[in-house]
């Protein structure tokens, strides 16, 4: 176990030695230890910084979601957006519920159900504005994976996957 001295020499030439009598390269592994320790410290600093950034982002996102749960998502532009949520339960073996949100100015909206080949299985017109839901009955499907898409006023809002098991 070890390193190839010629490769280490390209990065840290000061720790590689060449024995001219025996004609072989060697590595001063004791001199390598401080370099490795410092590299680990730097890596840990980067990991800790990224963890802090992720936690800060999660906190900001959670606050934004809680503040905008059923109202507009984009307060900067005062735009009220349609929302499609993941079905629950997923996977399901009998029925599943899909929650959605449609703004008050929505003229028409549908949830389209597709099989894995892309064939449209079902088209469900949505008549309720605001926060609402629909139920998908497993008795109308074969076991497998499906996609469902919310289209509001001709614009695709989101597509999600759901799995029906039997």
Q: How high is the mean pLDDT in each 10-residue block of the chain (166 residues)?
A: 89 92 92 88 88 80 64 46 92 93 93 90 93 93 92 92 89
Is 74 among the domain residues? no
Residue 153 falls inside a structural domain: yes
Strand boundaries in the chain, DSSP class E: 16-19, 24-27, 83-84, 95-102, 109-115, 120-125, 130-137, 144-152, 155-164
pLDDT of residue 68: 59
Residue 119 CA to residue 101 CA, distance in Å, equals 25
Sorted by sequence, the CB contacts under 8 Å of residue 152 that are 6+ apart come out as: 82, 102, 106, 108, 109
| Domain presence at residue 31 | yes
**Rounded to two decimals, what is the model's pTM?**
0.53
Report if residue 98 sits inside a domain: yes
For residue 101, what pLDDT is reported? 94
Shared domain check, 148 and 94: yes
73 within domain boundaries: no
Structural domain for 118, as ranges: 83-164
Q: Is residue 76 domain-resident?
A: no
Task: Count structural domains, the chain.
Answer: 2
91 token code pair: 């996977």
Instruction: With H, G, I as helix, E, B as strand and everything else as coil, classify residue 10.
Output: helix
Predicted confidence at residue 113, as pLDDT, reads 95
Whether residues 160 and 94 fall in one domain: yes
Contact 137, 118 (CB under 8 A): no
User: Which residues are CB-contacts of 133 (< 8 A; sequence separation ≥ 6)?
Assistant: 97, 98, 99, 100
Give the per-residue pLDDT at 73. 44
Whichever domain contains 110, its CATH number is: 2.60.40.1930
């Amino acid at each position: 176990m070890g390193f190839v001295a010629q490769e280490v020499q390209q990065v840290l030439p000061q720790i590689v030695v060449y024995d001219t009598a025996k004609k072989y390269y060697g590595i001063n592994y004791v001199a390598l230890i401080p370099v490795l320790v410092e590299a680990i410290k730097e890596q840990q600093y980067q990991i800790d910084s990224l963890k802090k950034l992720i936690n800060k982002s999660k906190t900001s996102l959670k606050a934004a979601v809680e503040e905008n749960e059923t109202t507009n998502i984009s307060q900067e532009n005062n735009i009220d957006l349609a929302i499609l949520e993941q079905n629950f339960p997923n996977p399901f073996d009998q029925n599943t519920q899909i929650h959605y949100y449609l703004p008050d100015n929505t003229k028409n909206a549908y949830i389209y159900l597709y099989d894995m080949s892309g064939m449209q299985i079902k088209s469900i017109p949505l008549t309720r504005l605001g926060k609402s839901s629909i139920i998908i009955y497993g008795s109308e499907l074969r076991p497998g994976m499906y996609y469902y898409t919310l289209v509001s006023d001709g614009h695709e809002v989101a597509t999600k996957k759901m799995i029906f098991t039997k």
